[in-house]
Amino acid sequence: MLKPPAIDGLVARLGRWSAGRGPLYVLLAARLRELIDDGELPPDTPLPPDRAFATALAVGRGTVVAAYDVLCQEGKIVRRQGSGTRVASAVLPRDRTRAGDTANPLFLHLLERPDHVVQLTCATPTTVPPEVTSAYTRALSLIRSDGLGYHPAGHPALRGALAERYTRRGLPTEPDQILVTTGAQQALSLVTRLLVRPGDKVVVEAPTYPGALEVFREAAAIPRPVSSVDGLDWPALVDVLGRERPALGYLIPTHHNPTGTVLPTPARRRVAEVAAVHGVPLVDDEALVDLGFDGAEPAPLAVFAPDNAVLTVGSLSKIVWGGLRVGWVRASAALVARLARLKAVHDLGSDVASQLAAVDLLADLDAIRARRAGELRRRHDRLRAELGARLPDWRFRPAAGGQTLWVRLPHGDAVSFAQLALRHGIALLPGGSLDVSGGSAACLRIPFLAPPDELGKAVRQLAGAWRDYSPSADPPTTLAPLAI
Pick the closest to residue 259 from 435, 387, 378 (CA basis).
435
Pick the closest to residue 400 from 263, 250, 212 (CA basis).
263
Domains of the chain with bracketed CATH? 7-87 (1.10.10.10), 105-126+370-468 (3.90.1150.10), 130-366 (3.40.640.10)
% of the chain exceeding 70 in pLDDT: 90
**365-390 and 452-468 are packed helices; what angle lies between their axes, rounded to 10 degrees?**
30
- Residue segments in the chain with a per-residue pLDDT below the cut of 50: 1, 3-5, 92-100, 473-484
Q: What is the pTM of this model?
A: 0.82
pLDDT at 106: 55
* Angle subtended at Cα 307 by Cα 184 and Cα 156, rounded to the nearest 5 degrees: 55
pLDDT tens for each residue of 74-87: 889 998 877 789 99
pLDDT at 478: 34
C-beta of residue 321 within 8 angstroms of C-beta of residue 129: yes
User: What are the strands of the beta sheet with 327-330, ordered from one edge?
Assistant: 178-181, 327-330, 310-315, 282-285, 248-251, 201-206, 222-227
pLDDT at 4: 47
Question: What whole-number distance in Å separates Cα of residue 150 and Cα of residue 128?
Answer: 27
Question: What whole-number distance in Å separates Cα of residue 121 and Cα of residue 414?
Answer: 13
Question: How far is C-alpha 109 from the geometric centre of its chain's CA atoms?
Answer: 11
pLDDT at 484: 20
